[in-house]
């Protein structure tokens, strides 16, 4: 700068804050996290990283002043020694005792994340919706923003339920189908379609759940990751040869008997909106190929879900705490919590 007029030169001390500011904004905008596909789609929500990097007068103070007191994790002390807590591809398996929900809540509050919960209340299954929503308000993502996406052919029958601040019920009217199998399989098509049309703009994560269930204990941000599946309560201890995968090679859901990690439940899965869109779109396309070949997978959309998760490994796996049926299964001693459980069905009451 020696040849510049004095008024245009930069003192070396002034370069330091300028360099820090440029580095800060360069990290926010050029980091791999900000270049994800969902952040580049037209109308998509602002990336979580950029939301946390909004520049306000007190943003640095708010970001770094947070303080928590909790027991130090011990490298040589197992959090659980009675169950598997890590998959061979290094995805955590979520059990009670493997996480600190206060730490996780604080981290997700920094992200300002909104969670979408999809549920299908088609035909007379709308009778389960009130209990589902009431228990979700008590136990699901408490303290976080939630959109309940209710797919139904009976929007007038969606019950009013008091909601916490920052939470809403969004009713999405869809057609019904004669067979329950068709209703089940078309869930993948509908979730895929609405993910592209609106979910990418409205929420950061999607959780896809069955309606004939209720939340009975805490289900929070510990479940969230890019892609998660839930261990089926009937097969968590079974060998892969006993899994009820689709075994007919003609089906797109076919899995040979010498393959398979876990058997995942079709009633509770999710992840980022982009990953859920990829999963549901792939499953729907596979079911359309099966339909053209006049074959229907043995467990319908659940069979295709298991095929997808075998070759697209989930980044987090939920234990059977997150799907359980007390009517059919005796609770084992290592199952410390029952978080999401089947509701006893009175078929006569449903018909009435």
Q: What is the pLDDT along the chain (352 residues), one digit of tens a residue?
A: 445 444 444 555 555 666 565 555 554 544 444 444 445 455 566 545 444 444 444 444 455 556 788 889 999 999 999 999 999 999 999 999 999 999 999 999 999 999 999 999 998 999 999 999 999 999 999 999 999 999 999 999 999 999 999 999 999 999 887 776 677 678 999 999 999 999 999 999 999 999 999 999 999 999 999 999 999 999 999 999 999 999 999 999 999 999 999 999 999 999 999 999 999 999 999 999 999 999 999 999 999 999 999 999 999 999 999 999 988 889 999 999 999 999 987 655 555 5
Say whether 191 counts as a known binding-site residue.
no
**Residue-level pLDDT at 19:** 59
Q: Which domain holds residue 310?
A: 93-351
- Same structural domain for residues 189 and 237? yes
- Same structural domain for residues 150 and 220? yes
**Residue-level pLDDT at 38:** 46
Whether the CB-CB separation of 48 and 113 falls below 8 Å is answered with yes
pTM, rounded to two decimals:
0.81
In a domain, 7, yes or no: no
- Same structural domain for residues 108 and 33? no
**Residue-level pLDDT at 352:** 55
- Rounded to 5°, the CA angle 21-26-29 comes to 130
DSSP for 4-44 reads S-GGG---HHHHHHHHHHHHHHHHHHHSGGGG-HHHHSTTP
**C-alpha span between 160 and 189 (Å, rounded):** 27
- Same structural domain for residues 201 and 347? yes
| b/e per residue 117-149 (b: at least 16 CB within 10 A) | bbbbbbeebbbbbebbbebbbebbbbebbbbbb
User: What positions carry a catalytic annotation?
Assistant: 302
**Residue-level pLDDT at 350:** 52
Say whether 302 counts as a known binding-site residue.
yes
In a domain, 65, yes or no: no
> Which is nearest to 243 in space by CA: 303, 312, 295?
303
96: CB partners within 8 A, 6+ apart? 321, 336, 337
Say whether 125 counts as a known binding-site residue.
yes
Say whether 212 counts as a known binding-site residue.
yes
> Which is nearest to 317 in space by CA: 194, 181, 209, 225?
225
How much of the chain is helix, strand and coil, in % rounded to 5?
A: 40, 15, 45
- Same structural domain for residues 45 and 112? no
In a domain, 266, yes or no: yes
98: CATH? 3.90.550.10
CA distances from 70 to 100, 236, 305 (A): 9, 32, 38
Say whether 211 counts as a known binding-site residue.
yes
- Same structural domain for residues 243 and 329? yes
- Please give the DSSP secondary-structure letter assigned to residue 254: B
**Residue-level pLDDT at 22:** 56
- Same structural domain for residues 99 and 50? no
Counted domains in the chain: 2
- Same structural domain for residues 43 and 152? no
**C-alpha span between 269 and 189 (Å, rounded):** 15
- Same structural domain for residues 335 and 212? yes
In a domain, 204, yes or no: yes
**Residue-level pLDDT at 272:** 98
Say whether 99 counts as a known binding-site residue.
no
DSSP three-state, residue 243: coil
Say whether 245 counts as a known binding-site residue.
no
In a domain, 19, yes or no: yes
Name the helix (H) or strand (E) containing 208.
strand 205-209
**Residue-level pLDDT at 16:** 62
**Residue-level pLDDT at 21:** 59
- Same structural domain for residues 132 and 36? no
Name the helix (H) or strand (E) containing 287.
helix 273-292
In a domain, 175, yes or no: yes
In a domain, 2, yes or no: no
Up-side HSE of residue 214: CA atoms within 13 Å toward CB?
12
Neighbours of 30 (CB within 10 A): 9
- Same structural domain for residues 45 and 180? no
In a domain, 4, yes or no: no
- Same structural domain for residues 286 and 206? yes
Say whether 258 counts as a known binding-site residue.
no
Say whether 210 counts as a known binding-site residue.
yes
């Amino acid at each position: 700068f020696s040849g510049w007029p004095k008024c245009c030169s930069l003192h070396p001390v002034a370069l330091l804050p300028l360099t820090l500011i440029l580095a800060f904004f360069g990290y926010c905008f050029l980091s791999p996290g900000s270049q994800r596909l969902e952040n580049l789609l037209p109308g998509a929500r602002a990336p979580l990283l950029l939301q946390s990097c909004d520049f306000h007068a007190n943003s640095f103070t708010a970001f770094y002043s947070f303080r928590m007191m909790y027991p130090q994790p011990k490298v040589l002390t197992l959090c659980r020694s009675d169950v598997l807590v890590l998959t061979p591809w290094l995805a955590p398996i979520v059990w009670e005792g493997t996480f600190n929900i206060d730490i996780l809540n604080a981290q997700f509050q920094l992200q300002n994340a909104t969670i979408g919960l999809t549920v299908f209340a088609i035909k007379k299954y709308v009778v389960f919706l009130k209990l589902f929503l009431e228990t979700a308000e008590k136990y699901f993502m408490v303290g976080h923003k939630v959109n309940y996406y209710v797919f139904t052919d009976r929007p007038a029958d969606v019950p009013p339920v008091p909601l916490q601040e920052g939470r809403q019920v969004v009713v999405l009217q869809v057609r019904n189908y004669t067979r329950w199998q068709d209703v089940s399989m078309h869930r993948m098509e509908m979730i895929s379609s609405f993910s592209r049309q609106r979910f990418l703009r409205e929420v950061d994560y999607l959780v896809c759940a069955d309606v004939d269930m209720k939340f009975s204990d805490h289900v929070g941000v510990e479940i969230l990751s890019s892609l998660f599946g839930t261990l089926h309560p009937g097969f968590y201890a079974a060998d892969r040869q006993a899994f009820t995968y689709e075994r007919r090679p003609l089906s797109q859901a076919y899995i040979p008997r010498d393959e398979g990690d876990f058997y995942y439940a079709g009633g509770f899965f999710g992840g980022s909106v982009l990953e859920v869109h990829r999963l549901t779109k792939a499953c729907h396309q596979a079911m359309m190929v099966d339909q053209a070949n006049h074959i229907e997978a043995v467990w319908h959309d659940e069979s295709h879900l298991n095929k997808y998760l075998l070759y697209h490994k989930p980044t987090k796996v939920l234990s059977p705490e997150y799907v359980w049926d007390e009517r059919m299964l005796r609770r084992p001693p290592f199952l410390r919590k029952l978080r999401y459980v089947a509701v006893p069905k009175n078929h006569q009451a449903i018909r009435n």
